[in-house]
Each structure stands twice: as structure tokens, then as C-alpha cells.
Structure 1
Amino acid sequence: MWKKLLSKLGVGAAKVDLVLHHPRVRVGEQLKGEFLIEGGTVEQHIRKLEVELQLMVQADGKAYRRTVAVIPVSSSFTIQPGERKALPFSYVLPLHLPITRPRVRYAFVTRLDIADGVDAFDQDAIDILPPLPLEKLFHALGNIGFREKPSSGKITAYGQEFAFFPTKEWMGVVEEVEFSAQIEENGIRLYLEVDVRSGFGGFHETELKREIFFSNEEIENVEEMSGKLRAVIGEMIQQPRSYVGPSHVPYSSYPSQHVSHHHGGHGMMGAIGGFAAGMLAGMVAEELLEDVVEDALDDGIEDVMDDIGDWFDGGDDIL
């Protein structure tokens, strides 16, 4: 009787542990592991075992946590005192999730739903690596003298944005290179922004924007990608009037890009959903914006436009 009472309070209750074979995996690939369940001091009925993939984003002094997926593992069963069970686990990561960066983190949160007792939990961090085309693009940028910034990987209104700073030949001319990526069947599409220094002494910045597509054949050859990137950025610098545009405009304003607009729900978020469709982290960005709007509404209507405006002006990022 005493043991049963304690187990209801979580003392001597069943435990669960998710053991991942490889906690680092690329988007679109399968992650495998197993659940190790250990019975407590008394027999207990388990209603269900499930695991959530949770995304944690830190931005502007706030932490946002969103459940990306709920993965059912097992329905009801009974576990005896001291009994040990092992259940297999596998999950294919969605292709368009934001990848892990310093302020973008992931964890699997496992829940063992215990009837008439305190549920058992386990949390395991994972790293979501970039898809191979994006990783090769990072290497290509490195080949032509750019390095990824510590703040790279922020989630903007249009998806996940990566930022690189110049070294070598680009120093003094290029302030920063930023881009969002769309993974397509035939390659990878970039929405590229190059911030260049202009005016006497280079004290002014001009934002140059351009869409660029790398086919799967080009992606296979990192040297070819490097040469194309060098030529594209060089042309933008040499012909700035062809690529200059207002700050933080929708992607439909990029040269050669056509985007259909879909509306629904909140007007602004509906538009964002149209721009972000297919973008790396695009749908996650829209959901996080909903959180920002809800927070602002809770704080007062005066704060709503300030918070939403941070997405579209000089601080258009949520991360």
C-alpha cells in the first residue's frame, strides 16, 4: 500500500530513457534510437508513450518553444516492478525545418503517461544539420573568402537567414552577405542580399538583392559553385543600380522571382505564408510570428505594431 502511494507521487515509479544512435542528423534523413523503459517498485499501467520534437528559439531576450511534431510510439501496456522494456524508435526529419544554430536548438521530449501517477519524462538534445546542397554552399562561400557569423541562422519573417562576413579580397567593399534558401527538386534557390559599402570613406551601406539558382549538377561541383558565386557577387558590386532595392521587401520584389500570394487568417501572416512556402524554416517562421502577435496583444495594442514591425525594418528577424 505504501509503495503504491509513493508511486502515485512519482517515487519509485517507472522511468523512460530515449537513447539516440546518432544525435546529429540532416533534415530529410532518418534518425534512429530506442526507448528504454524500467518498471518501478509496483505494477503500473501506462496509457501511452509518445515523444515530441521541440524547437527552441531565443530572440530579443525571449525564449520561444514550439512543438514541431508529436510522434506516437506505443499505446497502453502494463509494466511490472523492475521490468525492463526496449522499444525501437525512428523518425524522418521534415525537409524544411530550420537547422541548428547557436540560438536555434532542438530536443526530443519523451513522455511516459502513467495512469494514476506522475508521468515520467526524458529530454534529449539533437543537432539538425543542413541539407547537403546548403552545406556545399557554405563551403563554396568559404572558398571565396566568406565566413559564417556567430549570429547566422536567425529566423526571419521569410524563413531562416544565414549571414557571412568578408575576408581577403572583399574586405572594405562588402559588409555582409545574407541569404535565405529554398530547397527544390532540381536544385537550391537563394534569395541573396549583399550589403556593400559606398560613399566617401565607405560610411554608407547599400543593400543589393538578387535571386540565384544552383542546379543539382552545379551543386555537385563546389568549385563551380564558388566561381558562380564570385561572379554573381562581383557583378552586383559592379552594377549596383541593377540590384538596389528598398530594405526588407517581400521576395516577389527580387529580380526574376515570381511568388503567388495566399491569404488566410491574420492578413500579414497570410501574406508571409505565401512568401515562405517551400522556404527553409518558412512555415516555422509564420508560426513564430503568430506567437509574437499573441504576446503583443497580451501586452497591449500599442506594442503590436512595434513587435510586428521588428520583422520588416532594420530588425526584421525574430532571432
Structure 2
Amino acid sequence: MFKKFLSKLGIGSAKINLVLHQPYVRVGEKIEGEFFIEGGMTEQHIRKLEVELQLMVHANGQHYRQTVAVIPVASSFILHSGERKVLPFVYALPLHLPITRYGVEYVFVTRLDIADGVDAVDEDSIRILPPVPLETVFSALDKLGFREKPTSGKITPYGQEFSFFPTSVFRGVIEEIECLAFLGEQGVRLQLEVDVLTGMFGHGEREWKREVFFSYDEVNDVERLTQKWHMLLQEIVQQPQTQTHSSYIPHQPYVPHDPGYYPVYPSRHHGHGMMGAIGGFAAGMLAGMVAEEMIEDVVEDAFDVGDQVEDMVGDWFDGDDIDIL
């Protein structure tokens, strides 16, 4: 009797531990592991076992938690005193998730729902890696001496924004490259903003905003991809004035928007970094999975990112509640 009383308080109660085969996974791929369940001092009724994938965003000194998915594992069962169970865990990550970067983190929260007792909880951090095509696009930039900034990967209303700075060939010529990335059936589409230094001592600066497309044939050939990056950046550097290209670059064949992309919407707003001339790409790194209403919201009313992170992250995942920590 006394043992049952203690179990209700969580003392000597059942335990749960999720052990992942590896603490990282690419978007769209499967992550696997096992649940190790250990019975407590007395028999207990387990109502359910489930896992939450939670996104944590850090911005402006505040922390936001958003549940991305709830993964049911097991329903009602009896766990006997001292009993040990091992259950498999397999989960395929959604395609639209922002990847792990500065201020963007993920955790699996495993919850063993114990009837008439304190739930057993386990937390495991995971890193969500970029899809291989996007990683290859970034690797080609790396070959040209561009390094990803420590603050790269911040979430904006238009998707996850990546930023790079030059260390070799374009050092002193290009200040920064920022981009949003979208994957489709035919290749990788980027919305670029390139800050080019001007003047004798590089005290001036001009901006280039452009949409760029890399076919999967190009992405599969890193050397070819690196050469195309080099040609593109040389062309931008040599242009005499700030320009914006919202369709495609002159030296590439036109590739129509396939169903894997949302189209570029015209924007009436200016002054919010990449929001102005580049316009309203869908929120979410892989646009094909993002709610259509988010596009309309972005096009209709661009807003200050810092003041409205809570609304932005909530919209990204269909308006579910967010915890401010």
C-alpha cells in the first residue's frame, strides 16, 4: 500500500528512456532508436506512450517552444513491478522543417502517461541536417572561400535565412551573401541578396537581389556547381549598379516553377532585409509543404520579425500554441 502511495508521487515509479541510434537526421529521412521502459516498485497502468518533436527558437533574448509533431507509440497497457520492455522507434521527419542552426534547436520529449501517477518524461536533443542537395550548394560556396556566419539560419517570415561571408577569392569585394532556399522536383531555387563593396577602400556598398536556380544535374557535379557559383558572383560584382532580378539569371535556361515551389509573389513592402524586392516566398525552407494561407499573410502584410516571432513560428506550424520560456 505504501509503495503504491509513493508511486503516485513519482517515487519508485516507472521510468522511460529513448535511446537514438544517432542524434542527427536529415529532413525527410528517418530517425530510429529504442524505448527502454522499466517498471517501478508496483504494477502501474500506462495510459499511453508518445513522443513530441519540439522546435525551440531563440530570438531577442526570449525562448519559444513549438510542438512540431506528436508521435503515438503505444496505447493502454499494464507495466508490472520491475518489468522491462524495449520498443522500437522509427520516425520520418517532415520535409518543411527548418534545419538546426543558431537559435534553432530540436528536442524529442518522450512521455509515459501513468494513470494515477506522475508521468515519466525523457528529453533528447537532435540535430536536423539540411537535405543533401542544399548541403552540396553550400559546399560549393565553401570551395570559393565562403563560410557560414555563426548567426546563419535565423527564421524569418519567408523561410530560413542563411548568410555567408568571404575569406579568400571575394574577400574585400563581397561583404555578405544571404539566401532563402527551396527544393523542387527539378532542382534547388535560391533567393539571393548579395552585398557588394564599392569605392576605392570598400567603404560603399550596393545590393543585388536575384533568384537563382541550380538543376539537380548541376548539384550532383560539385565542380560544375562551383564554377556556376563563381560565374554568377563575378557577374554580380562587375555590374555597375544595384539591380534586382526576380525571375532567373541571364546565362541559365528558363526553368518554370514546378509544383514543388510556391511562386514569387509581388511585394508592396520595402525595408525589411530580403522582404522588399525579393518578395513573398512561402514561409518554410521547403516551400511545398507550407500552408498556403501563410503565403497570403506574408504578401498582404510584412511585419517586423523581432517583435512577432511568436506569431511567425505559430503560423509556420498551423497556429498551434507556443510556450514562451
Q: Give TM-score, length-normalised by structure 2.
A: 0.78
Distance 1:274 1:7, change over 3 A: farther
CA contact (8 A) 1:180 1:280 kept: no
Residue 305 to residue 10, structure 1, CA distance change in 2 (3 Å): closer
Q: Match of 2:195?
A: 195
**Equivalence for 2:281:** 275
What is the CA distance between 1:306 and its match in structure 2? 7.6
Q: SS state of the match for residue 233, structure 1?
A: helix
Per-residue CA deviations over 1:154-206 (Å, capped at 9, x if unaligned) read 11111111111112221111000111100111111111110111245322322
- In 2, the alpha carbon distance for the partners of 1:274 and 1:204 equals 28
Q: Deviations over 1:235-263 (max 9, x none)?
A: 1121254x525xxxxxxx724484358xx
Q: Distance in 2 between matches of 1:305 and 1:164?
A: 20
Residues 101 and 306 (structure 1), Cα distance of their counterparts in 2 relative to 1, 3 Å cut: closer
The offset of 1:277, in angstroms, is 5.6
- On the 8 A contact 1:183/1:278 being kept in 2, the answer is no
Report the more deviating stretch, 58-67 or 273-282.
Answer: 273-282
Residue 173 of structure 1 contacts residue 196 of structure 1 at CA under 8 Å; is this kept in 2?
yes
- Tell me, what secondary structure is at the counterpart of 1:89? strand
Per-residue deviation, residues 76-132 of structure 1 (Å, max 9, x unmatched): 001000000111110001112111113211110000000000011000011111110
Q: 1:305 to 1:67 in 2, by over 3 A?
A: closer
Q: What residue ranges of structure 1 are gaps of 5+ in the alignment? A: 246-252, 262-272, 291-302, 312-319
Q: How many residues are paired up?
A: 276
Identity over aligned pairs, percent: 61
SS at match of 1:112: strand
Between stretches 193-202 and 216-225, larger displacement belongs to: 193-202
Distance 2:3 2:104 in 1: 42
RMSD between aligned residues? 2.7
TM-score normalized by the length of structure 1:
0.80
1:24/1:3 Cα in 2 relative to 1: closer, same or farther (>3 Å)?
A: same
Q: Which has the higher helix share?
A: 1
In 1, distance between residues paired with 2:134 and 2:285? 12
Q: Secondary structure at the match of 2:122?
A: strand
| Counterpart code for 1:156 | T
CA contact (8 A) 1:110 1:121 kept: yes
1:170 aligns with 170
User: In 2, distance between residues paired with 1:29 and 1:84?
Assistant: 30
- Structure 1 24/211 Cα, relative in aligned 2: closer, same or farther at 3 Å? same
Kept after mapping to 1: 8 A contact 2:156/2:283: no
Q: Within 5 Å, give how 1:103-252 maps onto structure 2.
A: 103-199=103-199, 201-241=201-241, 244-245=243-244
CA distance in 2, matches of 1:163, 1:220: 23
